[in-house]
Amino acid sequence: MEAAKEGLEKAQTEQWTGMSRYYFPAIHFFALRAILAYLDPTHARILTLNLVNLLKPRMALTSQPLLALLRLHQSLLIDAIAADPNLLDAAIRTNAEVVAALTDLLPYGHPVRAVSTAELGRLLCVDEPATIDPEQGGTFPPRGIHRLKLAKDTLERAMAELSVGFGEGGGAVTRRVREDLGNIQKEIELFGGLVDRTRRRGQ
């Protein structure tokens, strides 16, 4: 962890100009190794977020180490959702950035790209928290029916890519995505029915 902190401090000091390029590979290696070895997931999540925020204004999402850090930060967020549901939207936003990067980097139907898209769709299916942290707010991900429709569209896109990457049938991931698609379609229909009944009552 001290190695990761040192890497972050060097990056902040150098401001990624001049000799900062020399430190670039070391920050990637030591930060990831320290985070993976560290037993405090909250501290690890904060550290990856700090590194991601430092690199994003200066690098494309497809660049290393930014893409690797985004994927690591996403996994840490997903692990923490059960304890803190307000992290759900942050996990969705991070997953969406990973999908955007992999879409630019990998060909259509590549297994890694397909699975990451499926992960995003499944996150969008998770029930929204009862209370939304204002600091986690924003226009993405959307709320209500728009979130459900986005989940459906994302899962359908994932299904198409999974069939290319894993062949006909697609294995366990495809089966789970197919089940999620059926469930989200039912939710959309239920939501639409509730809206229609509410409108009729108001007339």
**Residue extents of the structural domains in the chain:** 1-80, 85-203
Question: Across the chain, what does the average pLDDT equal?
Answer: 77
Flag whether pLDDT at 146 surpasses 80: yes
**CA 84, chain centre distance (Å):** 16
Instruction: Measure the N-to-C terminal CA separation of the chain; round to a whole number of Å.
Output: 62
Q: What are the pLDDT digits (tens) for 79-117?
A: 889 889 999 999 999 999 999 999 999 999 999 999 999
The whole-number pLDDT of residue 46 equals 85
CB 144 within 8 A of CB 191: yes
The percent of residues in the chain predicted with pLDDT above 70, rounded, is 70
The whole-number pLDDT of residue 93 equals 95
Flag whether pLDDT at 12 surpasses 90: no
Question: DSSP string covering 22-42, please?
Answer: HHHHHHHHHHHHHHHH-S-HH
Structure tokens at 14: 């150098």
| Contacts of residue 153, Cβ cutoff 8 Å, sequence gap at least 6 | none
- Mean pLDDT on 71-80: 88
Of 4, 23, 25, which Cα lies nearest the Cα of 13? 23
Please give the radius of gyration of the chain, using alpha carbons only, rounded to the nearest integer: 20
What are the two backbone dihedrals, phi and then psi, of residue 93, each rounded to the nearest 5 degrees? -60, -40
The model scores a pTM over 0.85: no
Rounded Cα distance, 198 and 203, in Å: 9
pLDDT band with cut points at 50, 70 and 90 for residue 21: very low
